[in-house]
Amino acid sequence: MSDIEEHRKKIEEITLEMIKLLKTRTDVAKQIGDAKASLGMTVTDEEREDALRTQVTKLCKEIDLDQSTALKFLNFLFNESVKVQSDNKQTHLSVFLKAKELEEQGKEIIHLEVGEPDFQPPKEVKTALAEVYDKGYGKYGPVKGITELRTALAHHTNQLENDDYDEENIMVCPGARFAVYLAITTLLNPGDEVIVIEPAWPAYKECALNAGIKVRTIKTTLETRWEPSIDQINNAINGNTKMIILNYPNNPTGKILPKKIQDNIIEIAREYDLYVLSDEIYSEYANDDWKSVLLYGYEKSIITKSFSKSHAMTGFRIGYAIAEPSIIEKMSKLQALSLTNVSEPIQYVALEALNADTSENTKIIKSRLDALKESTKDIGLEFVEPDGSMYLFARTKHKNFDATKFSEKLLEHGVAIAPGEGFGDYKEFFRITAINEPRLMEGMTILDTVLKETV
């Protein structure tokens, strides 16, 4: 056998051996997952991961292997473990799907789990829908969006932020969800790390996991008013960290960070050259303390926004990203590959929707949130008063309360809520959406009754 043949044989053997080891590792990870589930433990244990990372780094020195390759491989293994251990988590989406099934069987459900305004889009949308056929929109179009809409969105951004954006800074996407997916998937590489501050909308973690990117979670608590400490953030950063994700006003807590903390986070991002993905989908539902990340003028920031919440257009699937043109360019490659372009008729409708005065929506959501706060206080739940968004994240005063079981029981009584475990390590919490008041109050009364039966 020639030398090269011999080496090829050897590499095949090693690879097959590695695959067998991966199988053994995955089986053990599953067993650990079952044990964690029965003990009510979370899937990710960052301390244990750190300890193993330290051992791997040490080993690399001993055997003279490139650390960065080894740590990327380690992140791949961590992600595989998270995947096999994360099967049964209940999210707002799984509750919503169960609620829909019950509705199909003829049951009436009050939806306090959904993340969408229950009012109609502005009337400009109706007019635009009637016009769009004759306007001739409806062919393949530019991947980043039609110029009219990109220009209008840049203008809209400048009005809000008093800055100097133009169409090159904008990419139209089918919803902020897709913009988030594009940003995470195209700006980061497998093995890179992203910081997510929890509680968080689950898609950030899922997008990263899907793209082979390691998530570093920062757990915030009700006791610290859902504020991350600067130490927590600094401790989560290492050589592989490439992005931090912010979402304020937050889903699910409604939190807005104190300005000082947000300033510090952006400073840290600059220092370590991290991307800042700021999901500002709830910016229209924010109190006065809110400051857009756009205002920092940080060139590695990506802001995601949407017509879903501000214009009650969830089903239209239209949102956008604001970033430096070089970032937009990278994101647009995957959009071209996967979508060609966002539906042109819907882009036209969004363009017209921008002319609508949505200040009434802002007032409606605020007054509902106020009503929800009062009702939640009356029931005696614990929560931090939301500064914005459309939700309230609460827990009971009872230790070890299982909000997932509670949400299942409550659904049997016709009320759907979002269990906290969908947003991170928050099994005792649940999220309630501020829907229209009569229905909200009806739902809260049932919640109160079922709670009293439960605890």
Site for ligand PMP contains 251 (CB under 6 A): yes
Nearest to ligand PMP by Cβ — which residue? 175
Residues 119-138 that bind ligand PMP (CB under 6 A): none
Minimum distance, C-beta of residue 292 to ligand PMP, in the bound complex (Å): 15
- Virtual CA dihedral for 406, 411, 414, 415, nearest 10 degrees? 60
SS (H, E, C) 14-71: HHHHHHHHHHHHHHHHHHHHHHHHHHCCCCCCHHHHHHHHHHHHHHHHHHCCCHHHHH
Kind plus residue range of the DSSP H or E element containing 161: helix 147-161
Q: Candidates 174-182, 216-224, 361-369, 411-419 — which segment interacts with ligand PMP by CB under 6 A?
A: 174-182
Nearer Cβ to ligand PMP (241/433): 433
Residues 6 or more apart whose CB falls under 8 angstroms from that of 240 comprise: 68, 71, 72, 75, 191, 192, 193, 214
Minimum distance, C-beta of residue 15 to ligand PMP, in the bound complex (Å): 40
Minimum distance, C-beta of residue 82 to ligand PMP, in the bound complex (Å): 21
Q: Candidates 170-178, 287-295, 409-417, 447-455 — which segment interacts with ligand PMP by CB under 6 A?
A: 170-178
Contacts with ligand PMP, 177-206, as mask; x by CB under 6 A? x-----------------------x-----
Q: Candidates 46-54, 149-157, 169-177, 214-222 — which segment interacts with ligand PMP by CB under 6 A?
A: 169-177
* DSSP for residue 293: G
Burial (Cβ within 10 Å: 0-12, 13-18, ≥19) of residue 354 = middle
CA distances from 82 to 28, 188, 207, 336 (A): 12, 19, 13, 30
Site for ligand PMP contains 424 (CB under 6 A): no
CA distances from 310 to 118, 153, 180, 182, 319 (A): 12, 14, 18, 22, 11
Estimate to the nearest angstrom the gap between the alpha carbon of 197 and the chain centroid.
10
Nearer Cβ to ligand PMP (115/424): 115
Nearer Cβ to ligand PMP (132/200): 200
Residues 208-247 that bind ligand PMP (CB under 6 A): 247
Residues 268-287 that bind ligand PMP (CB under 6 A): 279, 281
Site for ligand PMP contains 175 (CB under 6 A): yes
Residues in contact with ligand PMP, counted by CB under 6 A, come to a total of 13
Number of helices (H), then strands (E), belonging to the chain: the values are: 16, 13
CA distances from 232 to 154, 227, 298, 413 (A): 35, 10, 22, 41
Compute the distance between CA of residue 314 and CA of residue 382 in angstroms, rounded to an integer: 30
Minimum distance, C-beta of residue 247 to ligand PMP, in the bound complex (Å): 5
Minimum distance, C-beta of residue 342 to ligand PMP, in the bound complex (Å): 12
Minimum distance, C-beta of residue 429 to ligand PMP, in the bound complex (Å): 16
Bridge partners of 393, per DSSP, are 431
Minimum distance, C-beta of residue 175 to ligand PMP, in the bound complex (Å): 3
* Cβ–Cβ under 8 Å, residues 176 and 310: no
Phi-psi region of 5 (alpha: psi -120 to 50; beta: other; left: phi over 0): alpha
Minimum distance, C-beta of residue 304 to ligand PMP, in the bound complex (Å): 7
Q: What is the CA radius of gyration of the chain?
A: 24
Which pair of tokens denotes residue 252? 């699910």
* Cβ–Cβ under 8 Å, residues 188 and 274: no
Nearer Cβ to ligand PMP (76/96): 96
**Judged by CB under 6 A, which of 53, 79, 82, 115 binds ligand PMP?**
115
Kind plus residue range of the DSSP H or E element containing 390: none
**Judged by CB under 6 A, which of 128, 176, 351, 372 binds ligand PMP?**
176
CB atoms within 10 A of CB 14: 10
Nearer Cβ to ligand PMP (306/347): 306
Q: Give, in degrees to the nearest 5, the angle at Cα 158 between 156 and 159.
A: 65
Residues 296-355 that bind ligand PMP (CB under 6 A): 306, 308, 314, 319
Site for ligand PMP contains 361 (CB under 6 A): no
Nearer Cβ to ligand PMP (201/430): 201
Minimum distance, C-beta of residue 280 to ligand PMP, in the bound complex (Å): 9
Nearer Cβ to ligand PMP (167/280): 280
Footprint on this chain of ligand PMP (rule: CB under 6 A): 115, 175-177, 201, 247, 251, 279, 281, 306, 308, 314, 319
